[in-house]
A and B are shown apart, each in its own frame.
Chain A
Amino acid sequence: MSSDGDNDDFLYEDEYDDGFDQDEEIDIDSTSEPDVYDAMSPAIEEAPQKKPYDVSWKVKTLQEIIDMQNKEISKVQALLEVPSSSAAILLRHYVWNSEKLQEQFWNDPSQALEEAGLSPSSSPTARTTALPPSPTKRSNRSLRPGPSSLLKRTRSTQPTGPFECPICCMEYDYSSTYSMGCDHRFCKDCWIEYLSGKIKGEGESAKIQCMESGCKRIVREEVIDDLVTKDISKRYHNLLNAAFVADSPTLRWCPHPNCEYIIECSQAPTRMLNQLVPTVECKCGNDLCFGCGYAASHRPVLCRIVRLWEKKCADDSETANWLQANTKECSKCQSTIEKNGGCNHMTCKKCKYEFCWVCMGPWSEHGTSWYQCNRYDEKSGIDARDTQAKSRASLERYLHYFNRWANHEHSAKLDAEFYQKTEKKMEQMQNSGNLSWIEVQFAKQAVDAVIKARITLKWSYCMAFYLKRNNMTELFEDNQRDLERAVENLGYLLEQNISDTDSIAKLRQDITNQAAYVQKRHDILMDDTLRGYLERRWEFTVDT
């Protein structure tokens, strides 16, 4: 007989069961194992192989989610011999943990039913005694006097004569009233108004209780469907499904607008999110983070760090706003320069001064080893003497990373726009017979590579902001800088005038080569960073 601890272990393993079985045995909980890293390194070139930091997932339709619930419900219905709507209410009460439900049910069926909001006896009419008073909790400070003579209650067991509804005080025939068998009877009009308000106004579904104050009886699905309009009933069922997905740690709605798919993933429970960034792709074609629901990939940054960063950006948005301006002045001749392509290599039209859009430094220095645009010069903060200067330095440090984070996002957008224009030119070249369809695809592939790399770079600046200064962080920033340079070079090439057919062959070769290099640098940064979590190489200035 296994102890409680063994049981826990069993459940733990079970959760990962279909997780890493396609891989070699890699214990992601173990600390760094260099041989694992080496063994996996050759896989970098071949994309389809699953990496230890990747998760597997399935994309489900709403119908499949409904089927999942129905399957559980009929299982419980058969096991406990209760009506299907009772099985549903029981399962929802026990958050779809049918093992716990069975344990509690067989331990004390009446109590399990009552706690879930059901009649403790199977037949509602067999119940004649009044409900016991609801348990008084300290937090429920309100005083709930018993039934008053004004709002007199009529027993559900005496369906004769006219009935005065205690809510609206109007008289009704019994056929126009309804009671859940809890001694609280109300007119159907009041029920309809109440249920519709709960569903439409408050978005409630699984936990709609009796109208009587303090009565915990849950209104059954079929009662709601019978009473409310079709529209509201539909909304009610949508809410039930939403609650099922929200309650399940292995399910998540796709966050993209108008997408109705649900992602199922059992390998990214909350406790794993300090070492995994579970990016998944929905059937709608978009990426999302299964860990936090972010509607795009935020690799290689951990969910928690993304949340901290977004909060910081929201708090500091006013100081940051001016940074996002699309115009800057040439640092040499002061004429206004507008950024049109995504490339950071700027040339002033007036004085021909070449500079970096991000740091405004001369571009010539970006090629040398001592100049670094990606790394914030921490030394500048060391001189800070008083607290005012320190807080200024900390703001400047934040702005350094934020500026680069925002710039890559902005540049990715501009790159996409720029490509639209280029595409037209390419079509013309294709039509004039100078290039084949295959030959013009290089630009599309290159732009895709740039955009993907920019999104990763963007998040790499968020990561760097929270990393502690140490040797590992320097290696990270080296990878970041290499990718950044590769991307800027490719961006620069893409912005060249490609309508000149004589030079197109050379340009195409350059772009293709540079795109392959960008892809390679991207994969190196991503692979090394994500492995770093599993090997516990990264140290942050905040808790993860």
Chain B
Amino acid sequence: MSGLPKRILKETERLMADSPPGISAAPKDDNLRHFDVTVAGPESSPYEGGVFKLELFLPEEYPMNPPKVRFLTKIYHPNIDKLGRICLDILKDKWSPALQIRTVLLSIQALLGAPNPDDPLANDVAQNWKENQSAAIAQAREWTRQYAQ
């Protein structure tokens, strides 16, 4: 694919050669702006032991605009909805062109370790998380076993 900005080439190169622990990201053969991503559930979180598939797309305006990221694996999390969309500040108004694919994926991994039911995307999950946390965590663990292994 010609005309891919140097910034994207460099980021891709580095992601392939030296990816952060628990994270993998590789561009698709037919579209180098489209990445297949996996994120391992953080230790001592209900997602531990799970491997979650995501897709990441770099829009034409990247890095002035944030990448588009979505979970493909079903996940029980207050900030991730049924369609896999993620509620994360740096993917919206807190995006900076100095951030990278790597930082985005690390932030998503951190979000798995620290769910925030006060700023929910999936309302029913968030409600459950607040009202009956142990049941919610058990549910998240169960979904991880069922869908992410």
Chain A interface residues toward B at CB < 8 A: 138-145, 148, 150-151, 166-170, 184, 190, 193-194, 197, 211-214
Contact = CB atoms under 8 A, between A and B. Distances in A.
Contact of A193 (B64, B90, B94): B64
A139 B119 CA distance: 8
Contacts of B5: 168-169
B33 to A, nearest CB: 16
A170 B107 CA distance: 26
Given A139-B89, A140-B89, A142-B88, A167 B107 contact: no
Given A151-B100, A211-B96, A213-B90, 19 more contacts: A138-B116, A141-B110, A141-B111, A141-B119, A142-B90, A142-B111, A143-B106, A143-B107, A150-B10, A150-B14, A150-B100, A166-B98, A168-B5, A169-B7, A197-B64, A212-B96, A212-B98, A213-B94, A213-B98
B87 to A, nearest CB: 9
B7 A167 contact: yes
Nearest to A137: B89
Interface string B98-117: 11101100110111001010
Contact of B89 (A141, A169, A193): A141
A141 B103 contact: no
A148 B90 CA distance: 17
B27 interface: no
A158 B99 CA distance: 23
Nearest to B8: A169
A211 B116 contact: no
B49 interface: no
B6 A169 contact: yes
B103 A197 contact: no
B62 to A, nearest CB: 10
Interface in B103-144: 103, 106-107, 109-111, 114, 116, 119
Given A142-B110, A144-B103, A145-B103, A214 B96 contact: yes
Contacts of A139: 89, 116, 119
A167 B5 CA distance: 11
A193 B7 CA distance: 15
Contacts, number: 75
Contacts of A145: 102-103, 106
A140 B116 CA distance: 10
A430 B109 CA distance: 84
A140 to B, nearest CB: 6
A194 B64 contact: yes
Q: Which of A143, A167, A194 has the most CB of B within 10 A?
A: A143
B36 interface: no
B11 interface: yes
A167 B119 contact: no
Contacts of A212: 96, 98
A137 to B, nearest CB: 10
Nearest to A140: B89
Nearest to B9: A169
Given A145-B103, A169-B10, A140 B110 contact: no
Interface string B60-96: 0101110000000000000100000000111000101
A150 B18 CA distance: 11
A170 B10 CA distance: 11
B97 A151 contact: no
B6 A170 contact: yes
Q: Which of B10, B14, B64 has the most CB of A within 10 A?
A: B64
A140 B114 CA distance: 12
- List the 5 closest pairs (A to B, CB-CB), nearest first: A213-B96, A142-B90, A143-B110, A142-B107, A169-B7
Nearest to A138: B116
A167 B97 contact: yes
Contacts of B94: 140, 142, 213
13 contacts: A139-B89, A142-B90, A143-B103, A148-B102, A150-B100, A166-B98, A167-B7, A169-B6, A169-B7, A193-B64, A212-B98, A213-B94, A213-B99
Contact of A211 (B90, B97, B103): B97
Contacts of B102: 145, 148
B125 to A, nearest CB: 16
B86 to A, nearest CB: 11
Nearest to A196: B64
A170 B90 CA distance: 24
Nearest to B7: A169
Contacts of A168: 5-7
Nearest to B110: A143
A143 B110 CA distance: 7
Nearest to A209: B96
B110 A151 contact: no
Contacts of A169: 5-7, 10
Contacts of B98: 151, 166-167, 184, 211-213
Contact of B97 (A143, A144, A190, A214): A190
